[in-house]
Amino acid sequence: MYDWDALWHEHEGYRTGFDVQHNDANQLADELSAKLTKPAQHPTDVAVYETADRFILAGHADGLQLLEVFKHGLFDITLRLVSEDEGQPLPLPYVEIHVDNLATEEQAVWRGVVRRDEEGRIWIDSRTLDEQVMPAMPFDELSFTDNARFRDALHRVWNEDLPTLRPLIEAWFDHSALTGAAETHHYGDESRVQQICDRYAEIVRREQATLSRLFADAELQLIAHVLQNVRFEEAASCRGVWLAVEACMIDEELDQHFKLDGEALLGKMKTLSYAQEVALIEALSPLPAASAAE
């Protein structure tokens, strides 16, 4: 589920010594009143124990040491600018902030409409981009919504990550002002359409070659399993494939079924470009029944 070794080293300053006679990191279930979920495989590896609200990592570093990691602190926050219709009852564009926590099996999303006023100021929900004051984001469905670390992370996303979207937001409004209402695309005659298809196929081929080196076989099998029940009717719907994978991973415990690190897989998927996500879909999505029969 997580890169336990990375957590062990990242939070080195929070480790505490643990005095036990046998000094075996894999034999602490009784002492910790916790379940061993990942045994240490070698002397420098960490064992992972689990209780209802935390993970306890045990390892050797100048003696046996423990590191407690509370589940409510293992959240991920993802910021998106949505500029194409994805079926939400909101005018375009809008900002999405996704919060995911695999450990507590919780996820939530906040959406704020983006607009530009006559003075050129960018508004997101009820706040301007320059204010650096975050609007109300209750996230009432999350058990850790009032956690100070979570709230600090939300403020960092709002004050540091959100301003980086300004060029994209400005470009969207500038383009809309020039073009007006969206028009139907006309791609030209048959030869032009064939040229576009050939270029598309070449882009997909190149990206698939890259993806084959990025993902392990088990990871690709898991993604293919998820895509069996997902349809991508519109081009814009191909963005954010990791959200579908994460939802199925939580509901069906697919990371355990395919024996892989689900958190690491999601981390890879979140870095994919749109072209790479399309290439992944083209490679792993099942063919429609009519096409498969031809």
Look at residue 178 in the predicted model and tell me its pLDDT: 59
In SS3 terms, 222-289 reads as HHHHHHCCCCCCCHHHHCCHHHHHHHHHHHHCHHHHCCCCHHHHHHHHHCCCHHHHHHHHHHHCCCCH
Residues of the chain predicted below pLDDT 50:
181-182, 289-294
In SS3 terms, the chain reads as CCCHHHHHHHCHHHCEECCCCCCCCCCCHHHHCCEEEECCCCCCCCEEEECCCEEEEEEECCCEEEEEEEHHHCCEEEEEEECCCCCCCCCCCEEEEEEEECCCCEEEEEEEEEEECCCCCEEECCEECCCCCCCCCCCCCCCCCCCHHHHHHHHHHHHHHHHHHHHHHHHHHHHHHHHCCCCCCCCCCHHHHHHHHHHHHHHHHHHHHHHHHHCCHHHHHHHHHHHCCCCCCCHHHHCCHHHHHHHHHHHHCHHHHCCCCHHHHHHHHHCCCHHHHHHHHHHHCCCCHHHHHC
Look at residue 177 in the predicted model and tell me its pLDDT: 63
In SS3 terms, 150-165 reads as HHHHHHHHHHHHHHHH
Burial, 87: exposed, middle or buried (Cβ in 10 Å; 0-12, 13-18, 19+)? exposed
- Find where tokens 């009820």 sit: 126
